[in-house]
Every structure is written in structure tokens, then in C-alpha cells.
Amino acid sequence: MHGRPNPLPREFFDRDTIEVARELLGKHLVHVVAGRERVGRIVEVEAYLGTHDRASHSSKGLTPRTRVMFGPPGHAYVYLIYGLYHCTNVVTEAAGCGAAVLLRALEPVLNLSGRSNGPGLLSNAMQIDLGRNGADLTGTELFVRDPGEPAPRHIARRPRIGVDGAGPRWAGRLLRFYEKDNAWISRR
DNA sequence: CTCCGGATTCGT
DNA sequence: CGAATCCGGAGT
């Protein structure tokens, strides 16, 4: 039932963040919990471009929380939001850039617990919490896998969600990407 | 040390 | 539209 892990290599993440964001759509996120794979097909993401992106945590500089964002690509950046939910990101580009892609929604594939349409719900369904912050995505516990299916045909671009505080210039940028007409998107 | 607000979600 | 719930980051 389990294939071999087969994670995407670090080079996949060591590229332009918008490119990585778009190419993550259709890939499978895999988390092995108690020897059992939880798998979801990535259908919605947001790009956070780096220190110059006012909506990105990294725009505040290197702090204990953003340490992972400023590290090498291909690691998980997980943080607690509103004291209630976790958000799961993948770090992109070279160390020092502070760039990442937020995973916003999954189409259930295997063993997800509950809804996965929204960053907090996604993390719950995949059982990802702060214990996974900094996890190496080229390992065998938490990783991204190419399902070997055709990439999504129609990718929609919209402004990111919940970043109005970054000002109109950054909040207006079309850095949210999702598979058009997919039923598991967090919002229209 | 205190204080404020957040890349969310749910119920009213 | 407000509550839930807690920590990071900034200021004293």
C-alpha cells in the first residue's frame, strides 16, 4: 500500500518562489504518522517572496520565529496563528532570502482527519504542528511527492488572504494560486 | 516585564 | 461581526 517515500529533491524548492508555488499545485503532501501515510493533493497555495514582501513574516527580519524561513530551502516553516491553528509552509530559494510558500488547501487522498480547505484546517488534517517546524522535506516523514499525474490545467491567481495589514501595494499582488474549479479551495 | 495584534475559523 | 486563545515582537 505504501510506495517508497520518493520526496521531491531540494532543488525543486531552490528556485523562484512563484514558480515553486505554481508547481506545487497537484503535488502530494505526505506526512507519516505512526507508520501511516496521510496524503493530500495540494490545490491552493500562497507565495511569500522574502524580506521585501511586507506581508511576509520575514519582512520583520531574522527573529527566533523566522529562523527557519531564513534557512535553506526544502524545510517546513510551521507557526501558530491566533493561538489556535497552525500554518504550514515550505521554505524556498537560497538561505537568507526569507521566502516560502504557504499551503492553503488539500484535496483529500489518504487518511486525512477532517477538513483540509484552509491553512489551519490543512495542518490539523495532516497532524502537522510546531513539532514539525524546521523538518527537512527531503526526508521520509514529511515531504512532497510527485503523484505522476498531469499537472492542473487551469491555475487561478488572486490576491492573498488576510494580508491587508501589509498595505494595498502588497495585499493587491496576485500571489495566491489555486486549481480553478477544484471543490476543495478554501474560498472563492 | 507588559501590551498588542495576527498568513484563522466558527458561530451569531 | 466578534470570540476563541497564545505567543512573538516591540516597547518600557
In the block, cell 531564513 appears at: A70
Measured distance CA(A4)–CA(A125) in Å, rounded: 22
- Look at chain A and report how many structural domains it folds into: 1
- Asked if residue A119 is part of any domain, the answer here is yes
Write the DSSP symbol of residue A136.
Answer: B
Alpha-carbon distance of A30 to A60, in angstroms, equals 30
A151 touches strand B (CB under 7 A): no
CATH of the domain at A74: 3.10.300.10
In a domain, residue A16? The reply is yes
Is pTM, for the whole model, over 0.85? yes
Model pLDDT, residue A2: 63
Name the burial class of residue A153, with classes exposed (0-12), middle (13-18) and buried (19+) by CB atoms within 10 angstroms of its CB: exposed
> Is the Cβ atom of A58 within 7 Å of strand B at any atom?
yes
Whether the CB-CB separation of A112 and A125 falls below 8 Å is answered with yes
Residue A186 lies in a domain: no
In this predicted structure, the answer to whether residue A1 has a pLDDT above a threshold of 70 is no
Report if residue A154 sits inside a domain. Answer: yes
Average pLDDT estimate for A46-55: 98
Question: What is the C-alpha to C-alpha distance for residues A61 and A17, in angstroms, rounded to an integer?
Answer: 18
Residue range(s) defining the domain that contains residue A67: 10-179
Decide if A3 is inside a domain: no
If you compute the radius of gyration of chain A from its CA atoms, what whole number of angstroms results? Answer: 15
Name the residue closest to the C1' of C10 by its CA: A60
Task: Please report the pLDDT score of residue A129 as a whole number.
Answer: 97
Q: Which nucleotides along chain B are within 7 A of a protein C-beta?
A: 5-10
Per-residue pLDDT band at A4 (split at 50, 70, 90): confident
Q: Quote the cell numbers at residue A40.
A: 493530500
How does pLDDT run across A166-179, given as a tens digit for each residue? 999 999 999 999 99
Interval A101-154: pLDDT, tens? 999 999 999 999 999 999 999 999 999 999 999 999 999 999 999 999 999 999
Is residue A185, in this structure, part of any structural domain at all?
A: no
Output DSSP code: residue A123: H
Asked if the structure places residue A91 within a domain, the reply is yes
A2 falls within a domain: no
Over residues A8-28, the pLDDT tens digits come to 999 999 999 999 999 999 999
